[in-house]
Structures are given as C-alpha cells and as structure tokens.
Structure 1
Amino acid sequence: MTTYKSDFLRVLDERGLIHQVSDAEGLDALCRQGTQTAYVGYDATATSIHIGNLISLTMLYWFQETGHRPITLMGGGTSMVGDPSFRDDQRKLLTVEEIATNIESIKRVFGRILRYGDGPTDAMMANNADWLLKLNYVEFLRDVGRHFSVNRMLSFDSVKLRLDREQSLSFLEFNYMIMQGYDFVELNRRYGCRLQMGGSDQWGNIINGVDLSHRMGGPQLYCLTTPLLTTASGAKMGKTANGAVWLNADVFSPYDFWQYFRNTEDADVGRFLKVFTRLPLDEIARLAALGGAELNEAKKILATEITAIVHGREAAEAAAETARKTFEEGGLAADLPSVAIARAEIEPGIGVLTAFVKAGLVPSTGEARRQVKAGGLRVNDAAVTDERATLGLADLTSEGVIKLSFGKKKHILLRAE
C-alpha cells in the first residue's frame, strides 16, 4: 500500500478517490514542489453533466484546496467528434451552436464547486476548440499522428468492445483518442499542466497524452483515475428509473437530487460521505457507524451535504424541508416536482390512471392498473381503490394542485394551469 506524502494524494487516498496512477512516486514528489496544474476534460454532448462527473470535479476541488491550480477543459472541439469509449453505437454529431449552448449550461455547475479567478491557485476554464479547430490536418497527421500505434489503440478495452460486437467504429471516432492525447500536450505547453485526471474508463485516452508528450520530447506528464462507483448491490452509480442523475437543476431538480442520495443503500453511506462530501473523516466515521433509525439521519446528512455542494446550501435545506413535510408530516410541500396540466383538460374529469401516466410516475395505464390493485397509488394521500375513478376540479387543493404518490417515496404535484 502506497503512503503518500503530498497533501493532495493523501486526501484522495483517504477518501477512496484513487484507482490508478501512472507514476505514483513521481506525482507525489511533484505535488510537494509548489503549485502544480491539473485538468479534467468534459465533453459538451448534453446540457448538463451527471453525477459520475461530480467525482472528477471533487478531485479538482481537493486539488485546489491543497494549494494547486485546476483547469476545467471544455471539449468544444472533441464534442464535434464524440468519445467512442464503451458505447454501443455512434454518437449523434452536434452542431457548433448546440455545443456552445451546452457549454454555457455546464459552466454553471463548475462555478459552484471551484473558485475561478486570476490568482495562482484559482481555477481556469479552457476550451479545446481554441486549438483543435485551428490545426492544419496534414501537419497534425505528420507531427502528432505518427506517434500513435494503431495496434495499441485497437487493444484498448473501449475499442475492443465495439469490435468484438462487430459494431461500426468510424475513423472520425478513432481520431478522438489522438485529439484527447494532444489536448494534454497543448495544455502543458500553454499552462504548464502536468496532470490529467478522470474516471477509470478513461485510462487509455489519458495515458495517450502522457506517452505523446514523451515521444514529442516534452516533460514527464502524469495521469490519475478515480474508481467508477457502483452501489453495494452492484448497480451503476448515478442511474434512476427515469435516466441519469444530472447536476443542472433545470434537468434534475434539487429535490430529486436530494432524494436520490437519501435513498442510498445502508452499506454505501460511509463510502459516499467520504467520496462526495467535505465533512471531516472522524465525523464520517461516526455517521457510518450508526445503525437502525439513526442511520436514516446519516442519509439525510449525506443528501443535504451533496445537494449543498451542487445546488447551494439554500436549495439543499429547502429540499430537506420538503422531504420532511412530505414524509414525516404527510403534508403538501411546494418544492415537490410538478407537472402542468391544462385546466380545460381536468375540468371535465381526467382518468386517475391517465393522470399518473401524465405525471410520469408510471410508464403506462397497464402498470398504473397493477399498482392500484397492489395499493401503491395515492391521490392527496388517499389510496386509489377504483381504477375507473376520475380527477376533477374538486380534487384540487387550495394551492391549485393534486398530489399524486406512487409508493412512499415518489410524489408529483399535478398543477392546473
């Protein structure tokens, strides 16, 4: 077991954030030689990044907190190609305008986690479109492409998976690996960046940059990856029945985000507190040791702390209060997720099964019917017993909503407009 001397690697090791390091001893020594620069790359293929990206952002946070300068690199150039890693199909190509919109949306999350500015340890934002879109293709192939072995690239697990399934891997996607490797070299040239970090599934792409710098006569670069988190039951972290757990509030509400972590499995509480929160390790150990009903309080702390990091303390406390009113008091909280429905549609009466489908609580009327028989659906906290029942204006509360519940943890407000 490696014993780290630098504050940065020691903190990451204590919190279970290290999976693999290209040269642990060398990086540890580098981090003790004054302020260093590291980056994580983020492709702008959606309007938000997800909970998996929060782990790499957490690594950048601790990098900054231990006296170093983090770079968040936006893939304005690479997003036009798309990362083929572990995908079953080819990514949809985005327009320049779509990528620019996505970048502006994603930036909002970075600013809540990292401190940006002009100081020696202030974070900075970069965009690889600034250099990739200006490259001369023939010169790039001659000066950079010649250092990449196709045989080695074919050996990467992310590529082998596609080939083993006899799925198409376009030349466009193949170039992604070269472009990402070049990003590292360019960031070192511009900003003295010596470290790239990312998830363990990115190891092949990251190590390419380390090798490229060596082959081009550059300085020693380093790479560090974090584990891909799974739950204690083996499920992939960050997935719900409705899709990914996004970090932007307009895609995944702070309340839903809070609820996701409130529902953490018992065995994961201590680990998630270490990985995602900034609580002291002795406090985390105390919370992880709780059992029974007390462990539920630890889960609430976990949910509130992570939500505060991503959405701000005010939003986190509002989400916690909404949950308290909903679950402990059986009341109606204004911050519950809501779905709008035209008053003209509800006035003549809407079938209760249809209402639950419109609210997104169940995928079909057939499933809604099964849940009625199982006693799993409630309207305004009253169990639905008649699948032929209709909801009308009389069911609206004084706030002009109808509270729909599926089980104990899923609630939606049907809001008449």
Structure 2
Amino acid sequence: MELLQDLAWRGIIYQQTDEEGMKNVLNKESISLYCGVDPTADSMHIGHLLPFLTLRRFQKHGHRPIVLVGGATGLIGDPSGKSEERKLLTLETVQDNVSGIKKQLENIFTFSGDNGAVMVNNYDWAGSMDIVSFLRDIGKHIGVNYMLAKDTIASRLDSGISFTEFTYTILQAMDFNHLYQHHNCKLQIGGSDQWGNITSGLELIRKMQPEGSKAFGLTIPLVTKADGTKFGKSESGAIWLDPEKTTPYEFYQFWINTADADVVKYLKFFTFLSHEEIEKLAKSVEDEPHLRQAQKVLAEEMTRLIHGEDSLQQAIKISHALFSGDVRSLSAAEIKQGFKDVPSFEAGNESESNLVDLLVTAKISSSKRQAREDIANGAILVNGERVTDTSYTLEDSDRIDGQFTIIRRGKKKYTLIKY
C-alpha cells in the first residue's frame, strides 16, 4: 500500500498543507523530512512517540528522516498549549537533556544505509546568531499580524506572552528554512499543536528561498483514550522512555493494560504490524477479548522497540512471576523493577528475623496478635511460599540475592523487605 494511504488507514494524518502536491512529490522521489523535539526534560515520554514513529514509517518507504533536537528552541519555550510562561532552563541543563534524548532517538531510527537518519541540533545554527542578524535576515520576513493570527499566540494575548515566547514560531520557522536549504528537507511532521509553527516555516521558505521552492507540512492527531483520561499517564505519572524513570516492566505493563476500546487504534498508531496482522488482532478483541491477545502484542512490540529484546523478555518474566506468585525465580534486578512502587521496609536488626516481629515492625500486620492470626490463617507468603508456622524465623535462604525478601499478605498486599 502507498505510504499516504497507509497513514490514512492508520488514522495518523490530521492536517496537510497540500495533499495532492505532497502525493506527487512522494511518488516521484525520495525526500528528506524532519520532526523535532525540545529538550525540556532529560527524557522523552510516550506522548512524543507518534510523530517520530511516523517519521520512521517514511524511512521504511525509502525517505530520509532528519531528527531535530531543539537545543536552541528548548532555551526559549514553545507557547503552544500553555497558559503561562515556561520556566527558562539553563544552557547546561538543556545540553544535558539533549544528550539523554539523543540516545532514545537512536533506538527508533536506522542511521546507516542510503536513507540513514540524520540527527541535528538547532543550537548549531541558531545559538551563534546575533540579534541584529536575526532581526534583519529573518524577522523582516514574518509579519506581526501573521503571527498574531496563530492560535498558539492569540490564545495567550489575554493572559500575557513575553517577546521571548512570541518569537518561538520564528525560531522554528528558521529550522525548517535551514533544513530546506542545507538538507533539501521538503516536509515537516509534528503534533496537531505544531500546525502554526509548521506553516510559519513554510512562509519563511516561500520568502527566503528561490521562487518555485516547494515544501509541505503534515500534522498528527492528539492521541486520546476512549474513557476521556489523558494518554501516556499512569498512577505513578508519565510513562518515560528512560528506563531509570519508567522501568521496562512498567512500560510493558502500561501497554498491556490498554483498554479494549483503545488497543486497535494504538496498534495502528504505534506499531509497524501489517494491516492483515492488525485486522486479525482486531477480530480477537471482538471474539475473544478475555485473552487480551491484542494487548500482549502491543506491549511486546512497543517494549521491544524502545528497550530491546532482552528488556522485553525480562518484563515478561517479571509479569509471569507476579501473576503466578513465583517471585523466588526473580533476580534482585528484576525485583527492583517489579516492586518499584510497592511499600518497602529496611530490615536492620536480628529481632526482625522473627516473622511475627517483622510483620508488626514493617506495618504489614497491625499487632502481634493480628500477625499470628494472619500466619495461622495462611494469609502470609514469604517469597511466594505460604507460611503457617507462627514461630517461623527468616533465614539467609529467604533473602533473594542476599538483598530482598518479599512478603505478601492476602492476595495483593506486597511489602519489599530490603537488607
């Protein structure tokens, strides 16, 4: 299937500046195109993924992706979607954030071959520009009335917008113009909130490049959830691509917990599965929703893409161990992932080796009497094994890798004992 038809089938296209023109160009030649991200944090989250995965789809069809990390625009702040000024970051912080984001983007794109991805940082051309050059060479081509008509700016006029954020759209327009001139970049992709910035870039190209120069813009819809809650959030917060912020196990669990009403849409948006594979999984959602086959495939595809095969297998192992209760099969590293958010207790003295005392001290049971009842009733499991002896004392063999003991009270209440 032709690329634009595939994007339309997946529901990825929100707006295009010139559908027919872009279709003609894509059918005739391989182009360079770009998408950017500002390094406002040291990691991207899954809300950043869809535009870059769309860029990767173009790469799979023979086009060259340019991945832009906004070392300059990250110092300014995009007014898009904000009701007040962003807190300005230091140059050092932004550069540190750039380093973290670059590593994540390297997992998504192929940087070798005839259409290998190119990574650029707009600080390289914007950071050294002096104010007079900016005003004379760039600012004179963008009218104030033109900028005031942009939704991202118009929505901030009542609450107030600084000249700094007011000029953000010009800086991003500079990016598109620079990439057009130096990389023959003919298309910018972005989220639906980037439409104003993309069209500013097209305006600057029209004004600054030779007559007849042609470039295009394409935006992608905002990812939503069927129940109205925000996509990309869990109970513990944003789902980051950095494994130190969101472990591969947590990442896997986020996707596997996708609602039936959303899973087919997410398979279309985020995976590179074929139409036939997705349609087969869609049928499984209708016919056998209890098997959650579509969710399993979605979780596997996304975890493999972002964290690699080894991390995926580790996440699956942790999931199976927690479902079956066989937590003793986990390593200390796997326990750190799977039990990251459960209550924990630092065991510090010999008296806590007595199970009854430990249950009380760690606040698993409310009193020694309750602790004895819990044990006698079979409500206490140590590393997945039920203990009914009220005189039970924990041994070194109860410490997984010498670091952890996992106590479970009832069906779901876990406590991680650390040594």
Query: What band does the TM-score fall into relative to the shorter chain?
Result: 0.7 to 0.9
SS for the counterpart of 2:218 is: strand
Contact 2:35 2:68 in 1 (8 A): yes
Which amino acid letter does the alignment assign opposite residue 257 of structure 1? F
Query: Who is 1:240 aligned against?
Result: 234
* Distance (Å, rounded) in 1 between the aligned partners of 2:219 and 2:382: 47
1:281 aligns to what?
Answer: 275
The one-letter code of the counterpart of 1:320 is: I
Q: Is the 8 A contact 2:383 2:398 kept in 1?
A: no
Matched-pair contact (CA < 8 Å) for 2:381–2:409? no
Q: Is the CA contact (8 Å cut-off) linking 1:36 and 1:193 kept in structure 2?
A: yes
What's the offset of the Cα at 1:150?
2.5
| Of 304, 312, 315, the match for 1:316 | 312
The match for 1:20 is 15
Match among 142, 150, 153 for residue 148 of structure 1: 142
Give the drift of 1:241: 2.4
- Aligned residue in 2 for 1:68: 63
* Distance change (3 Å), C-alpha of 1:32 and 1:229: same
Task: Tell me, in whole angstroms, the C-alpha distance in 2 between the residues paired with 1:44 and 1:395.
Answer: 46
Deviates more, 1:68-77 or 1:234-243: 234-243
Q: CA deviation at 1:127?
A: 0.6
Equivalent position to 1:296, from 292, 296, 309: 292
Matched AA of 1:14: W
Contact 1:288–1:295 (CA under 8 A) maintained in structure 2: no
1:31 maps to which of 21, 26, 33: 26
Q: Within 1, Cα distance between the matches of 2:83 and 2:380?
A: 39
Aligned to 2:79: 84
1:231 aligns with 2:225: yes
Instruction: Give TM-score scaled by structure 1 length.
Output: 0.82
1:143 Cα offset (Å): 2.1
Asked if 1:307 corresponds to 2:303, the answer is yes
For the Cα contact (< 8 Å) 1:22–1:222, is it kept in 2?
yes
Q: Contact 1:63 / 1:70 at 8 angstroms: preserved in 2?
A: yes
SS in 2 for 1:138: helix
The 1:329–1:27 alpha-carbon spacing in structure 2 relative to 1, beyond 3 Å, is same
- C-alpha offsets along residues 361-400 of structure 1, whole Å, 9 cap, x if unaligned? xxxxxxxxxxxxxxxx998699xxxxxxxxx978994314
Once the two structures are overlaid, the 10-residue window that deviates more, 243-252 or 123-132, is: 243-252
Q: Is there any run of 5+ residues in structure 1 with no aligned partner, and where?
A: 357-376, 383-391
Please identify, of 394-403 and 249-258, the stretch whose mean Cα deviation from structure 2 is larger.
394-403
Distance 1:258 1:214, change over 3 A: same
| Structure-2 separation of matches of 1:71 and 1:102 | 19
Give deviations 1:164-218, integer Å, cap 9, x for gaps. Answer: 4x2x321111111110011000011111001000111111111110111112244
Aligned: 1:251 with 2:255? no
Asked whether 1:214 is paired with 2:206, we answer yes
How far does the alpha carbon of each residue in 1:335-379 deviate from its partner, in whole angstroms, 9 at most, with x for none?
A: 2143776443997678989879xxxxxxxxxxxxxxxxxxxx998
Is residue 181–residue 206 contact of structure 1 (8 Å, CA) maintained in 2? yes
CA distance in 2, matches of 1:301, 1:287: 9
Query: Does the CA-based 8 Å contact 2:267-2:273 persist in structure 1?
Result: yes
Structure 2 unmatched ranges of 5 or more: 365-378, 385-392
2:179 is matched with which residue?
187
Return closer, same or farther for 1:162/1:354 CA change in 2, 3 Å cut-off.
Answer: farther
Q: Deviation at 1:162?
A: 3.1
Does the C-alpha gap of structure 1 residues 116 and 337 become closer, same or farther in structure 2, counting only changes over 3 Å? farther
SS in structure 1 at match of 2:173: helix
Is 1:136 the counterpart of 2:130? The answer is yes
Q: Distance in 1 between matches of 2:318 and 2:255?
A: 15
Equivalent-residue separation in structure 2 for 1:294 and 1:202 (angstroms): 39
What is the CA distance between 1:67 and its match in structure 2?
0.4
Partner of 1:344: 348
Rounded to whole Å, the distance in 2 between the matches of 1:73 and 1:407 is: 50
Q: Does the CA contact (< 8 Å) of 1:37 and 1:70 recur in 2?
A: yes
Corresponding position: 1:95 with 2:90: yes
Q: Which residue of 1 aligns with 2:371?
A: none
Q: How many residues are paired up? A: 379
Distance 1:416 1:145, change over 3 A: same
**CA distance, structure 2, for counterparts of residue 200 and residue 282 of structure 1:** 28
CA 1:264–1:380 in 2, change beyond 3 Å: closer, same or farther? farther
Q: Deviations over 1:109-166 (max 9, x none)?
A: 111111113x4300011010111012121122122112223233233332333334x2
1:110 equivalent to 2:117? Answer: no
- In structure 1, C-alpha distance between the alignment counterparts of 2:396 and 2:228, rounded to whole Å: 42
The match for 1:414 is 416
